[in-house]
Amino acid sequence: MSSATTTSSLPPSSRSPSPAPITNRDASATDESHNELDETEIKRRLGEAEERKQEGTDHFRARRYAEALVAYQSALGLLPRRLEQRAQDKGKERAVIAPETDPSDEDAEESSPVAPLSPLEQDCAKARAVLNANIGACHVKLEEWSEVVTACTAAIADDPAYAKAIQRRAQANEKIGSWSALSSAQEDYNKLLEICPKGSAQAREVERALRSLSPRVEAAQKREVDEMMGKLKGIGNTVLGKFGLSTDNFKFEPNGQGGYSMNFVR
């Protein structure tokens, strides 16, 4: 599976500038037409998307990351969306048109089996995964970490075992550095260990990342819990002060079962 990750310099591309990226509004406006595309049109769009992806790769290699991002987004906008996304959009449309529906109909729809992807749908899924991963690579170069997570999550939705996308998302979450982000990075690194060949260089790199990540998760957890408790204490003192009390009158002691017991003291 190809992915634009190199940074060697090349002469500027002679191709014409990429079209403007497809916005969420544009994408939603074309979803219905995407659903109606025939096989010939989808194949044509796959070919055009591949050309725009190559244009993006040329920009990326020349370190024109913003231009590469536009090209990759433009290529992605040509492709049909994932079946799950289309189903969600249809559900939203039905909710607007007929908000009062029989809950039993929704249960039956949710429990219906998902049909396997056709070969053409698999090609679209692979193309979307690579493009989203490449979009994530551009955001890495631009140090836009939340956007890296979003793009790589979309890539993983189409290819759950896409190691490069999983690793980029983990590294971006490390940069974000919050408790939830670091915990997500841990989950991704553990998933990578399942994917990487045992004893490989990548597996050893992931193991090192996990070892260094564990104390950071604990520190972030403590920091955020302390911040939250500080805010709650301020609110509590405001309320309890009306009764001549403060949060200092309440002591929390570990109960030995993973929780705390509260004692009132004067």
> For the residues 155-182, what does the mean pLDDT come to?
96
Confirm if 254 and 260 have CB atoms less than 8 A apart.
yes
Number of neighbouring beta carbons within 10 Å of residue 231:
10
Read off the amino acid at residue 150.
T
State which of 27-41, 62-76, 115-129 shows the largest mean pLDDT. 62-76
Q: Which residue has the higher pLDDT, 235 or 69?
A: 69
> For the residues 55-81, what does the mean pLDDT come to?
98
Read off the amino acid at residue 133.
A
- Per-residue model confidence (pLDDT) at position 252: 60
Closest by alpha carbon to 154, among 185, 175, 127, 133? Answer: 133
Structure tokens at 205: 């790199």
Q: With a cut of 70, say whether residue 39 has pLDDT above it.
A: yes
The region of weakest confidence among 20-29, 100-109, 194-203 is: 20-29
Q: With a cut of 90, say whether residue 15 has pLDDT above it.
A: no
Name the pLDDT band for 86 (thresholds 50, 70, 90). Answer: low
- Per-residue model confidence (pLDDT) at position 98: 52
> For the residues 167-196, what does the mean pLDDT come to?
95
> String of b and e for 177-208 (b: at least 16 CB within 10 Å)?
eebebbebbbebbebbeeebeeeeeebeebee
- Per-residue model confidence (pLDDT) at position 127: 98
- Per-residue model confidence (pLDDT) at position 12: 42
Task: State how far the alpha carbon of 241 is from the alpha carbons of 100, 231, 234, in Å.
Answer: 48, 15, 10
Q: How far apart are CA 83 and CA 80, in angstroms?
A: 8
Q: How far apart are CA 9 and CA 28, in angstroms?
A: 36
Name the pLDDT band for 236 (thresholds 50, 70, 90). Answer: low
Domain 1-91+121-170 has CATH 1.25.40.10: yes
The region of weakest confidence among 90-99, 133-142, 169-178 is: 90-99
The torsion angles phi and psi of 162, rounded to 5 degrees, stand at: -75, 95
Structural domain boundaries in the chain: 1-91+121-170, 231-264
